Structure 1
Amino acid sequence: MRRLLTCLLLLTASLTAGATLAPAPARADTTSPSYAPLDRPGPRLTVPAATLDAALQCHGDPKAGPRPVLLNPATSVTPEENYSWNWAKVFTKQGRYHCTVTMPYHTFGDIQVAGEYLVNAIRRMYARSGRRIAILGHSQGGMSGRWALRFWPDTRAKVAEVIGMAPSNHGTTVLAGCITGLTTCVPAVWQQRAGSAFMKALNSRAETFAGIDYTNVYTMLDEVVVPPPSSGLTTGAGRIVNVRVQDVCPLDPYEHVMTGTVSPATYAIVMDALTHDGPARASRVDRKWCSQLYMPGIDPADVAGFAPILTALPNLLLTVVPSVTLSGAPLLKKEPALRCYVYAAGC
Structure 2
Amino acid sequence: MRSTAFFGLAACLLPRIQAVPTPTAKDADLNPFPANPVELAVKNLNNLVNETLRNPPTNGLFDRLIEDFNLVIATAVPVSIPAAADALKEILVSAPEPSNLFGYAGSLAAAGLSKDNVPDLLQFAKGAVGPENSFKNVNLRRPSIRVFPKADPKDAPFSLSEADLRAAIHIPSSFKYGARGAPNPIILVPGTGATGYTTFVGNYIPLLQGSNIADPLWLNIPGFLLGDAQVHAEYVAYAVNYIHGISNKRKVSVAAWSQGSIDGQWAFKYWPSARAKVTDFITFSGDYAGTINANFLATPGVPLPPAVLQQEAGSNFIKTLRANGGDSAYVPTTSVYSSFFDEIVQPQAGTAASAFIQDARRVGVSNNEVQQICPGAPAGSFFTHEGVLYNAIGFALLKDALSHDGPGQVSRISDLDSLCTNFMTPGLDLSDFLLTENAILIAALTIVTYPEKVTIEPAIKAYASRRPGN
- What is the TM-score of this pair, normalised by structure 1? 0.82
> Is 1:191 equivalent to 2:310 in the alignment?
yes
1:62 counterpart residue number: 177
> Is 1:288 equivalent to 2:418 in the alignment?
yes
Report if aligned partners of 1:174, 1:224 keep a CA contact under 8 Å in 2.
Answer: yes
Give the whole-Å Cα distance in 2 for the aligned partners of 1:198 and 1:205. 13
Equivalent in 462, 465, 470 of residue 340 of structure 1: 462
Q: 1:12 to 1:262 in 2, by over 3 A?
A: farther
Give the whole-Å Cα distance in 2 for the aligned partners of 1:16 and 1:78. 27
Q: 1:143 to 1:12 in 2, by over 3 A?
A: farther
> Is 1:77 equivalent to 2:185 in the alignment?
no
1:219 counterpart residue number: 338
> Is 1:154 equivalent to 2:284 in the alignment?
no
Deviation at 1:40, TM superposition (A): 7.5
Report if aligned partners of 1:166, 1:259 keep a CA contact under 8 Å in 2.
Answer: no
Give the whole-Å Cα distance in 2 for the aligned partners of 1:280 and 1:143. 19
Deviation at 1:58, TM superposition (A): 2.0
Letter in 2 for 1:295: T
Report if aligned partners of 2:329, 2:360 keep a CA contact under 8 Å in 1.
Answer: yes
Matches within 5 A, 1:322-341: 325-326=448-449, 328-341=450-463
Q: 1:88 to 1:345 in 2, by over 3 A?
A: closer
Q: Deviations over 1:224-255 (max 9, x none)?
A: 21110121111431211111112221132233
1:28 counterpart residue number: none
Deviation at 1:157, TM superposition (A): 0.9
2:218 counterpart residue number: 100
Give the whole-Å Cα distance in 1 for the aligned partners of 2:90 and 2:166. 37
Deviation at 1:306, TM superposition (A): 6.8
2:441 counterpart residue number: 314
Deviation at 1:209, TM superposition (A): 5.3
Equivalent in 157, 164, 174 of residue 283 of structure 2: 164
Give the whole-Å Cα distance in 2 for the aligned partners of 1:308 and 1:166. 17
Q: 1:274 to 1:244 in 2, by over 3 A?
A: same
Identity of aligned residues (%): 27
Give the whole-Å Cα distance in 2 for the aligned partners of 1:48 and 1:225. 32
Equivalent in 323, 339, 342 of residue 204 of structure 1: 323
Question: Residue 184 of structure 2 aligns to a residue in which SS?
Answer: coil
Matches within 5 A, 1:139-150: 139-150=258-269
Q: Deviations over 1:92-116 (max 9, x none)?
A: 1314322100112222221111111
Q: Deviations over 1:10-57 (max 9, x none)?
A: 5677998447xxxxxxxxxxxxxxxxxxx9722332222222212101
2:388 counterpart residue number: 260
Deviation at 1:7, TM superposition (A): 4.2
Report if aligned partners of 2:252, 2:277 keep a CA contact under 8 Å in 1.
Answer: yes
Question: Residue 372 of structure 2 aligns to a residue in which SS?
Answer: helix
> Is 1:278 equivalent to 2:394 in the alignment?
no
Q: Deviations over 1:116-162 (max 9, x none)?
A: 11111111111122122111111112221011111111111111211
Give the whole-Å Cα distance in 1 for the aligned partners of 2:157 and 2:92. 38
Deviation at 1:308, TM superposition (A): 4.4
Give the whole-Å Cα distance in 2 for the aligned partners of 1:209 and 1:344. 21
Equivalent in 240, 249, 253 of residue 134 of structure 1: 253
Question: Residue 336 of structure 2 aligns to a residue in which SS?
Answer: strand
Give the whole-Å Cα distance in 1 for the aligned partners of 2:255 and 2:244. 15
Q: 1:317 to 1:155 in 2, by over 3 A?
A: same
Give the whole-Å Cα distance in 2 for the aligned partners of 1:209 and 1:152. 14
Give the whole-Å Cα distance in 2 for the aligned partners of 1:120 and 1:329. 26
Aligned residues: 317
Give the whole-Å Cα distance in 2 for the aligned partners of 1:247 and 1:309. 23
Give the whole-Å Cα distance in 2 for the aligned partners of 1:55 and 1:279. 27
Question: Residue 298 of structure 1 aligns to a residue in which SS?
Answer: coil
Higher relative contact order (CA 8 A, sep 6+): 1
Question: Residue 51 of structure 1 aligns to a residue in which SS?
Answer: helix
Equivalent in 221, 242, 248 of residue 373 of structure 2: 248
The worse-fitting range, judged by mean Cα deviation, of 277-286 and 6-15 is 6-15
Letter in 1 for 2:453: L
Deviation at 1:292, TM superposition (A): 1.2
Give the whole-Å Cα distance in 1 for the aligned partners of 2:391 and 2:448. 28
- What is the TM-score of this pair, normalised by structure 2? 0.62
Deviation at 1:262, TM superposition (A): 1.5
Report if aligned partners of 1:143, 1:164 keep a CA contact under 8 Å in 2.
Answer: no
Uncovered stretches (5+) of structure 2, i.e. residues with no partner: 1-79, 101-151
2:162 counterpart residue number: 49
Letter in 1 for 2:311: Q
